[in-house]
Amino acid sequence: MKFAVIVFPGSNCDRDMYYAVTESLQEEAELVWYEDANLEDYDAILLPGGFSYGDYLRSGAIASTSPIVTEIKQRAEDGVPVLGVCNGFQVLLEAGLLPGAMLRNKELKFMCHQEELVVRNNQTQFTNGYSDQEKIVLPIAHGEGNYYCDENVLAELEANNQIVFTYSDNPNGSVADIAGIINKEGNVLGMMPHPERATDQLLGSADGLKLFKSVLNHWREAYVAGA
């Protein structure tokens, strides 16, 4: 399986994502510069964390207008799995690939520590390796991770089982303790915690590796079924 790790000016978790795929998952990955606009050769697309364009205007807002995001939208429509982590999640929101928006953390401070999450939906291609309601530990590192949506959007997310991860002890004020959501089609996931920083117990947790293994397992099953 071949992963594209998108690199924007200001990305700083792209190497972490690359390492998670190539070393922990033992699959192929390439760093793809934001000015490129061809993602046809990749089986999955990863948008890493960081501070794209210095977080000017709004986090992820400028990156969402990059040519490569147009290609990401097309690949997402084709069913290719897309994962956005932290700033990558913010880009997905700004691009309209996921509903809602990000606000400043409730305490108006940057937060960087481990957080316990609950897997609310393990029936996705990103979470099939987890147990239902499994508690996992992943690190967070953000200043604008306070997920917001109105009551109508929240009701829709809940009705469609699109809330994939929630915080056990909400650190940033996110609506309904939301830490990660998926699109209706089930192939675009955005989350604030960093699974790529939790793929080896040496890092304090290996719970993030199951997410990447889930993507790989789903791809293998789909490839074998379609072969």
Active-site residue 112, yes or no? no
Q: How confident is the model at residue 226, as a pLDDT?
A: 58
Indicate the residue type of 139. Answer: P
Could you tell me the two tokens for 208? 């993030």
pTM: 0.95
Options 86, 94, 142, 218, the catalytic residue: 86
Options 94, 115, 144, 196, the catalytic residue: 196
Kindly state which CATH superfamily the domain 2-226 is placed in: Class I glutamine amidotransferase (GATase) domain (3.40.50.880)
Q: What SS3 class is residue 50?
A: strand
What contacts 65, CB < 8 A, 6 or more positions away? Answer: none
- Taking the CA atoms of residue 105, residue 69, residue 160 and residue 144 in that order, the dihedral angle to the nearest 10 degrees is 0
Q: How confident is the model at residue 85, as a pLDDT?
A: 98
Residues 88 and 52: their CA atoms lie apart, in Å, by: 9
Q: What SS3 class is residue 217?
A: helix
Q: How confident is the model at residue 225, as a pLDDT?
A: 62
Options 94, 115, 149, 194, the catalytic residue: 194
In the 8-state DSSP scheme, what is residue 131? P
Every domain of the chain and the residues it spans: 2-226
Among 88, 91, 76, 99, smallest CA distance to 163 is for 99
Q: How confident is the model at residue 55, as a pLDDT?
A: 80
For residues 95 and 57, the answer to whether their CB atoms sit within 8 Å is no
- How large is the C-alpha radius of gyration of the chain? 16
Active-site residue 194, yes or no? yes
Active-site residue 149, yes or no? no
Residues 35 and 131: their CA atoms lie apart, in Å, by: 39
All residue ranges of the chain with pLDDT < 50 are: none
Beta-sheet pairing, 146-148 with 135-142? unpaired
Query: Residues 100-134: pLDDT tens digits?
Result: 999 999 999 999 999 999 999 999 999 999 999 99
Report the 10 Å Cβ neighbour count for 171: 21
